Amino acid sequence: MKKLIFILFINLFSAQKVWNLQDCLNYASTNHPLIKQATVNIQKNDRQIAASKGMLLPSVFAGVNHSYSFGSSINQSNNQREALNTQYDQAFAQASAELFNWKNYLNISLSKLNKTTNTYKLKQAQNEVKLNVIQTFFAYQNSRSWLEVLETQISGIEEQIKRTEKEVETGNRPKSDIYDIKANLGTLQEQWVSAKNQRDLAKINLLNALNITEDYIDFKMENENYLAVENFNNSEFTNQLIENNPAYKVVIAEIKAQEKNIALERSNYFPTLNGNYSWSTFYNKFLGNTNLSSTSFSDQFGQNKNQSVSFGLNIPVFNKFQVKNNVEIAKLNVINSNYDKQLIINDLTKSINSIKAQYLNAQEKYNLLELNFENQKLSFQKSEEKYKEGLMDAYTFFIVRNNWLQANFNLISSKNDVMQQVELLKILKDF
């Protein structure tokens, strides 16, 4: 039974996938619901464009009617009202078209602009999802690194307790050393529990950012090389990122759509020209009265044919100021969209400058921590020699060892911070 459980455990473990950051970004950029919604909106725009173009085509419909009339009705043979029971059949077809309506052409243009807007919104949604994935990915990596540091500390202190107990038995160490080390072990174990919870929550947040509900993936850093950013000193660096950002392109496209909306509302001032064509025929039959004869169906069908063609020109004269007010509202919408543009520029400038500052600070911090790590490592090695020679007590050696491990984590965390800012900047530069 134990062997079976072990085999199942090995199979489960081996089935777990391991993703790096790029795997996460690739998955999220195609499978996240926000991306799928944005894609559906583009498909809807295609339908709206087709519908707008369809308004240029005529409407055609046909039908038949079959009815009975009892009592007083018009005798179709002499056009007099009489007490008659009749059967009436009619066939008809009709076509109508707006020969000229400027609003239809503007609707086509507006539909195309809306599709352009939603295309940029798709890219914007992909960027927002990716930015969230990057932040949660590195948060998980940092929390996992801290947990690994604590596990290393706990493992080391447990080994230290065993060695110290042996030295106490031989009289080389005072028994108080054991108490000091065990007291610190309890503190580390408490920190380990908190760190484990933080790591688990960080992974839940990462899975949520990927829209994955089952925990079957592990996330690791495979490529630890980070790229230096050379464009920070370029005066046009920020402006180029802003102008090519999909959020900025969305608001520009929305402004164009709002301006087109002004022309659309103004088109209600223009006249429209309509054309209609209709064709019909009927068959009339007397019921229950043999004294009245009815012409045969085929003869009536040919004799009663009727066709008509008509044209109509509709000229707006007064519409309760509705068109005027709608035009003014459309103008105000353009003004609002320009304010949205300013807000987007402010937000993007803040984000870009924030990433720039955090990158430079993280890079400087990493360089300092790299030097400090080497010093802490040398200090630990010298202290380990002193401890083995009995020249340092267990508690002091514990502090030195933990300082070295803490410096190791700080270096990893700082490097992750540099890489995170670089990855965030890559998304903003991905035009």
221 vs 416: CA distance, rounded Å: 9
Q: How far are the Cα atoms of 254, 264, 376 from residue 326, in angstroms, in the given order?
A: 18, 10, 72
Residue 8 pLDDT: 46
Handedness of CA 340, 346, 349, 354 (dihedral sign): negative
Residue 16 pLDDT: 67
Cα–Cα–Cα angle for 211, 213, 216, rounded to 5 degrees: 110
Three-state SS for 386-419 is HHHCCCCCHHHHHHHHHHHHHHHHHHHHHHHHHH
Handedness of CA 344, 345, 348, 349 (dihedral sign): negative
Rg, Å, the chain Cα set? 40
Q: DSSP strand E in 251-301: where?
A: 272-286
Tell which residue, 270, 350, 321, 216, has the closest CA to residue 106: 270
Residue 369 pLDDT: 85
Residue 64 pLDDT: 94
Q: How many CA atoms lie within 13 A of 338 on its CB side?
A: 7
User: Cβ distance 129 to 415 under 8 Å?
Assistant: no
Six-digit token string for 179: 């108490």
User: Cβ distance 401 to 156 under 8 Å?
Assistant: yes
User: Cβ distance 323 to 220 under 8 Å?
Assistant: no
User: Cβ distance 101 to 57 under 8 Å?
Assistant: no
Which residues of the chain are modeled with pLDDT < 70? 1-16, 75-77, 164, 171-174, 177, 223-233, 289-294, 394, 431
Six-digit token string for 425: 């900047």
Q: Which helix (H) or strand (E) holds 119?
A: helix 102-170
158 vs 160: CA distance, rounded Å: 5
Q: DSSP strand E in 201-253: where?
A: 217-219
Residue 240 pLDDT: 87
User: Cβ distance 108 to 290 under 8 Å?
Assistant: no
Residue whose entry in the numeric block shows the structure tokens 């043999």? 290
Q: Which helix (H) or strand (E) holds 88?
A: strand 86-100
Q: How far are the Cα atoms of 150, 156, 183 from residue 187, in angstroms, in the given order?
A: 11, 14, 7
pTM > 0.75: yes or no: yes
Instruction: Report the amino acid identity of residue 281.
Output: T
Phi, psi of 100 (to 5 degrees): -150, 120
Residue 231 pLDDT: 62
User: Cβ distance 285 to 294 under 8 Å?
Assistant: yes
240 vs 158: CA distance, rounded Å: 56
116 vs 428: CA distance, rounded Å: 20
Bridge-based pairing of strands 59-69 and 80-83 is unpaired
